[in-house]
Structure 1
Amino acid sequence: MSRQLPSIELLQAFLTVAKTGNFGKAGEQLNLSQSAVSRQVAQLEARLDSRLFERHTRRIVLTAEGRSLVPVAEQVIGLLCDASHMLATVGRSFSLRAHPTMAARWLIPRLTTFYGMHPQVNVSVDTVYHRFPDFAFESIDAMVAYGTATWPDFEALQLWEEELIPVCSPALLAGTTPQELLKSARLVDSSMDRLDWRRWAEYYPDSTGIDNAHLTFDTLESAIVAVKCGQGIALVDAVLTDDELRSGQLVRVHSGRIVTGGRYTLVYPRRVKHSSGFSEFLEWLGQEAGLDAART
C-alpha cells in the first residue's frame, strides 16, 4: 500500500492548482516552474488513475474526482503541518514542581522576565509539593526542593539558603520600639511545631517575653499574610519577603537572623539538562538566584 500512496509534494501541487485555478500561479506560490507543477499533477493523476482537472485553452476546471480530493488533501496537509509544528516545539515546554509559597512569591512573578527573553518556551508549574516526582514516569521535568537533603543521583542547582528574620507590619510597630514589641507581641508561627521561634529563643535569649501569645499556621504564606494584617511578628525567609521589605509593607524588628540549613534547590534528571527550553530556563534561574543573593 505504501507504494500506492502519493507523496505530499504531489498533493500540495494539486491543492495549490485547485485553489489558484492556474498552473502558472501555482508555480509562483510553490517556487516551481509551470511545467514542473503540470508534471506533478500528471503524476498524481497517474498514481490515482483518475483525471483531476479538465484542461482547457484558457482555464482548468476540477473534475468530480478532483473536487472530492480537495478536502482530503487539505486535511492531510493540515495534519502534517500540525505535526511539523509539534515536533519543532518538542523540548520547548517543560513542567516544574515547586513549593506553593516559593512558586507564588518568587518564581511565578519572575516568569514575566523569562518569557520576555524566551517567548517560545512554555513553563508549567505544579505545586503538588508533598511528593518528590518519579521523573521516569511522571510528566515532571524538575522540582524546586526545600530542605537539607543532597541529590547525588540528580543534577542540582542551589538557589538560596534560608535565613529567617523577624518582621511585622509598620502599623503594629507604631508608637513603640522593636524591643518592646518583641516582648509583648503575638508570635506568628509558620509551622505547627513552632520550631522557628524555639530556635530564636536559643539564639537570642531574653529578646522575647516569657509569655508571648502564639498564632500558629501550617504554611509560611499564611504567616506572612497574618503579619501584614498586623496580627503579630513572624520569622520569615528574607528572600521570599524581599518585595514587602523593600516596599515597606513589612519592617524588621531585630537585626538577628537564623540560618536554618534549609535550602531551595532545583533538582532535575541529567537527561534534561541540555534539552531545548529547559537549558535556557536553567541559565536564567541561576542568574535570578544570584541577583537575589547579592541583594539580600
Structure 2
Amino acid sequence: MSRQLPSIELLQAFLTVAQTGNFGQAGEQLHLSQSAVSRQIAQLETRLQTRLFERHTRKIVLTDEGKSLVPVAEQVIGLLSDASHMLAAVGRSVSLRAHPTMAARWLIPRLSAFYRLHPEVTVSVDTLYHRFPDFAFESIDAMIAYGTATWPDFEALELWEEALIPVCSPQLLEGTTPEAVLKTARLVDASMDRLDWRRWEEYYPGSTGPDNAHLTFDTLESAIVAVKCGQGIALVDAVLTRDELRSGQLVRVHGGSIITGGRYTLVYPKRVKRSSGFCEFLDWLEQEVTEHNSLEG
C-alpha cells in the first residue's frame, strides 16, 4: 500500500477527542498532555490527508469526514481489543481428555478447589477416552488415560492404581450377612467380558456361590448405579466410590480387593509443561495426588 496506515494510538486519540469534544479532557483520559493529543490529531489528519475536526475557540466539532471515521475507528479498536483478550486467554486454559466415569466422579468435583486457586484458568474436558489424542493436531493438552500402558514418549503423572472391592447397597444386607449375600446375590459386571469377577473367583475361591446370576454393563458408572439401586454386588474402584462408601450408600461386603494393574495417569507432551494455565493445573494435580497418597497411607 502506498499510504501508510494510521497507528492504533492515533485512532484511540481521535475517538477520545470525538467523544469528549475537548483536547484537554481527552488528554486526561489518555494520560497525555493537551498539546500531545493535539499533535496526534494533526498527525492523523496528515496521514489521512483530510481534516477531521473544526477547531473553534470553545469547542471542537467533527467534520463530515471525521463523522465517517468514527464507526470505522470504533470497529478497528473493538476488534483489536477482542483479539487481545482472546490471545491473553490462550495458554490460560487447559483442555483434557478423560475416562467419563473418572471425570464425573473424581476430576470434576475437585475442579471447584482448582478454580478457587486459579479463577483465571479455564478447564475443558472431553470424554472420548477410547481415542488417544494426536497432540500435534488436536487442541488437547493432556489425557487422563486408564490402563497398563507406559508412556516413554510423553510426560506422565500417575494418579492412582486401581483396586477393586465388592460393594452392594445396605438394603441388600437387611436380614442377612455379607457372606451370604456374596454367595447368592446377582454379580454386577462393569465390562462385557466379566473379567473382574473371574479374577475375584481366582483370588478368593469359594467366596461366591456356584450359581450367581450376572448383570452385565459396559461402563463402571452403570454398574455403580445398578448396585445403588439394589441390583446386586459389583467390583468397583475404591477411589471412585469413596463418597458413597463414606455416606453409607454403598457397603463393602468382603475385606479382599483386586489390584488389576490398571492405572489412571495424566499423559501430556513435554512442550505443554511450561504452558501458562497447564503448569498451574499440573502443580495442583500433583498436590491432589500427594494428599490422596497420604490419606491412603
**Normalising by structure 2, what TM-score?**
0.97
**Alignment of 1:47 onto 2:47:** yes
* Runs of 5+ unmatched residues, structure 2: none
The answer to whether the 8 A contact 2:158-2:264 is kept is: yes
Aligned equivalent of 2:224:
224
Deviations 1:159-192 (A, max 9, x none): 0000000000011111111111111111111011
Equivalent pair of 1:54/1:60 in contact (CA under 8 Å): yes
How much does 1:283 deviate?
1.1
Partner SS for 2:73: helix
Aligned to 1:164: 164
Match of 1:34? 34
Q: Residue in 2 aligned with 1:272?
A: 272
- The residue matched to 1:176 in structure 2 has which SS? coil
Deviation at 1:94, TM superposition (A): 2.5
Give the residue type in structure 2 aligned to 1:15.
L
- Does structure 1 retain, via aligned residues, the 8 Å contact 2:162–2:260? yes
1:239–1:292: 8 Å Cα contact kept in structure 2? Answer: no
Can you list the C-alpha shifts for 1:1-48, whole angstroms capped at 9, x where unaligned?
275211111111111000001000000000001011011101111111
Q: Tell me the SS of whatever aligns to 2:161.
A: strand
* Amino-acid identity (%): 83
Say if 2:195 is the partner of 1:195.
Answer: yes
* Equivalent in the alignment of 2:77: 77
Task: Assess, with a 3 A threshold, how the Cα gap between structure 1 residues 163 and 2 changes in structure 2: closer, same or farther.
Answer: farther
1:292 CA displacement: 2.6
Q: Distance in 1 between matches of 2:122 and 2:3?
A: 40
Query: Unpaired runs of 5+ in structure 1?
Result: none
* Greater CA drift, 174-183 or 285-294: 285-294
Q: How far has the Cα of 1:274 moved from its partner?
A: 1.1
Residues 45-104 of structure 1, C-alpha deviations (whole Å, 9 max, x = no match):
111111111111111100000000001111111111112212222101121100111111
Amino acid at match of 2:221: E
How many Å separate the matches in 1 of 2:137 and 2:57?
63
* Superposition TM-score, scaled by structure 1 size: 0.98
Residue of structure 2 equivalent to 1:154: 154
Superposed, which structure 2 residues align to 1:1-296 within 5 Å? 1=1, 4-296=4-296
Q: Sort the Cα spacing of 1:32 and 1:80 in 2 relative to 1 into closer, same or farther, 3 A.
A: same
Number of aligned residue pairs: 296
- The letter for the 2-side match of 1:199 is R
- For 2:28 and 2:19, the matched residues in 1 are separated by 13
Secondary structure of the residue aligned to 2:208 is coil
Structure 1's consecutive aligned runs of 4 or more residues displaced over 2 angstroms after TM superposition are: 289-296
Cα distance in 2, alignment partners of residues 97 and 290 from structure 1: 22
User: Displacement, 1:295?
Assistant: 3.0
Deviations 1:129-173 (A, max 9, x none): 111111111111110111110000000000000000000001111
Cα distance between partner residues in 2 of 1:173 and 1:291: 33
Amino acid at match of 1:183: K
> Is the Cα contact below 8 Å between 1:179 and 1:253 reproduced in 2?
yes
Which deviates more, 283-292 or 72-81? 283-292
SS at the partner of 1:273? helix
The farther-off stretch of 251-260 and 74-83 is 74-83
2:94/2:281 contact within 8 Å kept: no
Contact 2:187 2:233 in 1 (8 A): yes
Q: Secondary structure at the match of 2:162?
A: strand
Deviation at 1:291, TM superposition (A): 2.4
- Cα distance between partner residues in 1 of 2:101 and 2:276: 28
Query: What amino acid maps onto 2:179 in structure 1?
Result: Q
Query: Residues of 1 paired with 2:259 and 2:102: CA distance?
Result: 17
CA distance in 1, matches of 2:69, 2:287: 55
